[in-house]
Amino acid sequence: MDKPKLATCSLAGCFGCHMSILDIDERILDLVDLVDFDKSPINDKKAFTDRCLVGLLEGGCSTEENVHVLESFRNSCDILISVGACAITGGIPAMRNNIPLTECLSEAYLDGPTVYNPGRVLPSDPEIPLCLNNVYPCHEVVKIDYFLPGCPPSADTIWEGLVALLSGKPLDLPYQLVKYD
């Protein structure tokens, strides 16, 4: 029988959660026995080729591209797990949410103390995804099935979560593995 497929993505995150996935150390060999990786930065596969059982989401939605990727994960995966503070709360990127976007852009590109931008141009290349008004947690954009908090969640948290899911057991993490930082 084919192994179930796992996909992962980093939206508005720092890749720390992906580092934590790799931090399962030699258990990655067990993981390879349990699942095949589909679209993921871990194997650098850019597009879905198969329907996936599980999608792991790092980061919230800060740009329109984040939303498109998140929607493609919802359409291609049976189960979506928000992994980490940014996917669950918006996290550090969401600290821009109480400052209007125009103010954020002018601080970054026009008026910040280290900015050199004599033409006073704001980035507008069609290749660059447009910023959303706010950074949104994933569950405010699509339905999310499970949450693994942490910044990042520890390798043990991710491992326990995945193994419970893949072996059909209830996800019941011990107290020490559920942390918001």
Partner 1 sequence: MSKDKITFTIDGCEVTAQPGQTVMQAADAANIRIPQLCYLEGLTPHGSCRVCIVKANGRLDTSCTLPAVEGMVVENNTEEINEYRRDLVDMLFVEGNHICPSCEKSGDCELQGVAYELGITAPKYPYQFPRRETDASHPDIFLDLNRCILCARCVQTSRDLDGKTVFEFVGRGPDKKLAIRPGARLADTELDITDQVVGSCPVGTILKKRVGFAVPVGERTYDKEPHPEQPVSE
By the criterion CB under 8 A, which residues form the site for partner 1? Answer: 82, 85, 88-92, 94-95, 97-99, 134, 137, 139-140, 144, 146-149, 151, 175-176, 178-181
Find the shortest distance in angstroms from Cβ 104 to partner 1: 13
Q: 136 pairs with which residues across the strands? A: 61
Find the shortest distance in angstroms from Cβ 122 to partner 1: 23
Find the shortest distance in angstroms from Cβ 181 to partner 1: 4
Q: Do 150 and 180 meet the contact criterion of CB atoms below 8 Å apart?
A: yes
Q: Between β-strands 5-10 and 52-58, what pairing exists: parallel, antiparallel or unpaired?
A: parallel
Between 98 and 124, CB nearer to partner 1: 98
Tokens for 78, please give them. 């049976």
CA distances from 81 to 39, 48, 117, 138, 142 (A): 15, 17, 41, 10, 11
Between 35 and 144, CB nearer to partner 1: 144
Between 6 and 86, CB nearer to partner 1: 86
